[in-house]
Structure 1
Amino acid sequence: MRRPCACETCVSEAEVSLWFDERYNLSISPLLTKQNSLLSESTYKWWMRLQGERNPIDVNIATEELFKVIPGESNLLERSPYQCRTCAVVGNSGNLKESGYGLDIDSHNFVFRMNHAPTTKFEKDVGNKTTHHFVYPESVRDLSENVSMILIPFKTLDLQWVVSALTTGTINFTYAPVPRKIKVSKDKILVYHPEFMKYVYDRWLMHHGRYPSTGLLSVVFALHICDKVDLYGFGADSKGNWHHYWENNPSAGAFRQTGVHDGDFEADIIGNLTSIKKINIYRGR
């Protein structure tokens, strides 16, 4: 029987772990497209509860407007048994400092980064290649021309913001200030599917916390896109501090217990994925 990929081991291979097989569902699309933009009732209700918008517009109207402005198409989802697609998912932990992982990270087919994640001046440790950058409107930053932006929408307004940021620039505030305009070409904007967010919350997080962190959303996304997944910049540094690699303040990581994400449960998921060799994690040197 043909293996699902050309790597030594393939993420999507079944019957390696019952725990994994009970959670992993390749039939759910990670990306929102024109073709799959109708949300199921249960997803819609869950997603609308995430952030209390007053009188949001109908989500179907918002997605219809969105796909008039962006194509939302990508070859990301095309897997082949003849390929070995490698992903580096780069978190923002201080354990990347002095790690020297840069070249290693850049050697992957896909390099996923998230939120602010600067690379300038940190190339030796974090690399300088980015293929896809996960953001939400409040964490968006200017990206290089060849980088795709993956918007994680937590509310209908986020979809409207994409349209606004590419056209009229009228939205400059959600629950916090957001950029009126973004420098990203329209065909480089992809949208994380709310249905997939709920799948991560239901199947992987088992309803711990209010919703998954950007880190966990990126990791499960990678499991659906790549055959080999390597994680960098996740977890505390060697002294147990939770902070970002670009900060000099080791105690800056008080965000770990935000009440929104269950950091410990998410860390257990990453630990399980590592122990069954579905991912490799590099914890700094």
Structure 2
Amino acid sequence: MELAKSRDFFLSREKNLTLSIVLLVGCYTALLCPAYFPGQPTIWREYSMQHELVEVLQNRSNSLLSQVCRPGWSRLKLKEAYPGQLPPGVPVFLQRGEGGWSQAHSERFLPPLGLHGSEEQAARALQGLPQTSLSPELEGGGLCRRCVVLGSGGVLRGSRLGPHIDRHHVIMRLNSAPVSGFEDDVGYRTTVRLTYPEGAPHSARQYSNTSLLVMAMYKSSDLDWFTAVVAKQPLGWWTKLWFWQTVVESIPLHAENFRILNPEIIRETALGFLGYPKPQQSLISLSQKVPTLGVTAVVMAIRLCDEVSLAGFGYDLKHPMTPLHYYGTLRMNAMGLQSVHDVGAEKMFLRSLVQAAAVNDLTGGVSW
């Protein structure tokens, strides 16, 4: 009898050991598999794959595009929401001569809010450009122009808004946001790609069907990069040291397809619309916030276009594991790791524009 009890005891220990190992392996599998094989989060899968939502987005876009374009509408509504802002006579692109950088030059702001200390580099960069004025697509020939500014938000993935986006007169894209391979969701034409050196695409095919590449300058060395790229000359090793990541050195566009964003646009976005404090003593400190290219592009578009729409905007920080972009693998929580941009202030600004009917939010992300 005692022998049987002893046998049962040891057998139960073996069963317990086996069960413990199985449970342990199961726990490790549950913890490690998502890290090594990240699947699409349930929230995003439900959001991007619902046929009903895609249909809602497309119906909204169709409704807007079927209406008659209203000349000067976005500018009018922005001025109603922000009286005293958006002064006339400010060129969107940097022009030859001091008139091209007006207040940003006269108040002696450093980059990115001005050109103080970089005037000679700016003049040299402009000398390499056959044209610094608006392109025919942006001038519009007196026609009422509808523009869409494409953010890179994951909300675009699966939207199938590409054909709707391509119906706009002007299509603005940001940094290295890809077109090739994503045409169903983001369209295939690019009127303006707004970028800075570290953000410019490295793949030549991403410049296909592109009318203008516009550089936003954040530091003096950006102008040296721009001059070299336009002239199709190698970038000096000393200049390369000033970039925080490898920059593209060859862009398959002609010199007439390049422009430089007037730093006045960045200045009015930062100090006027986002309410950032004015830098003291002409210095940009490490704690100084700068606008994202996305919100800067929106201000630029309102200056250029009659009706402005947004697509792919909005950071849903309440769901940190949703995709940050419609491409790549970054998640929303990556926005919490940066300290250069004030995402909250930008979201409030964009939301105010939507509420004032100054812009249309085609993908609905601004309201999150």
TM score, norm. by length of structure 1: 0.84
1:22-78 deviation line (CA, Å, top 9, x unaligned): 32223322210114345645653342789xxxxx99522112211221134233564
The structure-2 alpha-carbon separation of the partners of 1:268 and 1:38, relative to structure 1 and needing over 3 Å to count, comes to closer
1:138-191 deviation line (CA, Å, top 9, x unaligned): 111231264310100111211111111224312362323222332221011011
Question: Of residues 23, 32, 46 in structure 1, which corresponds to 2:85?
Answer: 23
Moved more, 120-129 or 251-260: 251-260
Counterpart CA distance in 2 for 1:42 and 1:211 is 20
Q: Which has the larger radius of gyration?
A: 2
The structure-2 alpha-carbon separation of the partners of 1:13 and 1:57, relative to structure 1 and needing over 3 Å to count, comes to closer
Alignment partner, residue 127 of structure 2: 68
| Percent sequence identity over aligned pairs | 25
The 8 Å contact of residues 46 and 198 in structure 1, kept in 2 or not, is answered as no
- Structure number with the higher helix fraction is 2
Select the structure with the greater relative contact order (CA < 8 A; seq sep ≥ 6): 1
Shift of 1:92: 0.3
The 8 Å contact of residues 43 and 195 in structure 1, kept in 2 or not, is answered as no
Give ranges in structure 1 of 5+ residues lacking alignment: 1-5, 51-55
Alignment partner, residue 175 of structure 1: 243
Give ranges in structure 2 of 5+ residues lacking alignment: 1-67, 278-287
Counterpart CA distance in 1 for 2:211 and 2:170 is 11
Counterpart CA distance in 1 for 2:291 and 2:317 is 25
Shift of 1:259: 1.4
3-state SS of 1:273 partner: helix
The 8 Å contact of residues 96 and 232 in structure 1, kept in 2 or not, is answered as yes
- Mapping of residues 195-206 of structure 1, within 5 Å: 195-206=264-275
Alignment partner, residue 213 of structure 1: 292
AA at the equivalent of 2:344: D
The 8 Å contact of residues 30 and 224 in structure 1, kept in 2 or not, is answered as yes
Counterpart CA distance in 2 for 1:146 and 1:18 is 34
Counterpart CA distance in 2 for 1:226 and 1:153 is 22
3-state SS of 2:163 partner: helix
Shift of 1:213: 0.5
Counterpart CA distance in 1 for 2:357 and 2:253 is 36
RMSD (CA atoms): 2.8
- Mapping of residues 1-285 of structure 1, within 5 Å: 7-8=69-70, 10-13=73-76, 18-35=80-97, 36-37=99-100, 40-41=104-105, 43-47=107-111, 58-76=117-135, 78=139, 82-141=142-201, 142=204, 143-144=207-208, 146-165=210-229, 166-171=231-236, 173=240, 174-176=242-244, 177-207=246-276, 210-236=289-315, 240=319, 241=322, 243-249=324-330, 251=331, 253-256=333-336, 258-283=338-363
1:214-264 deviation line (CA, Å, top 9, x unaligned): 101100000000001010000136984350101245x25412552111101
Paired positions, count = 272
AA at the equivalent of 2:216: I
Counterpart CA distance in 2 for 1:260 and 1:149 is 24
AA at the equivalent of 2:118: V
1:94-134 deviation line (CA, Å, top 9, x unaligned): 00011111111000000000011111221111111111101
Alignment partner, residue 3 of structure 1: none
Alignment partner, residue 53 of structure 1: none
TM score, norm. by length of structure 2: 0.66
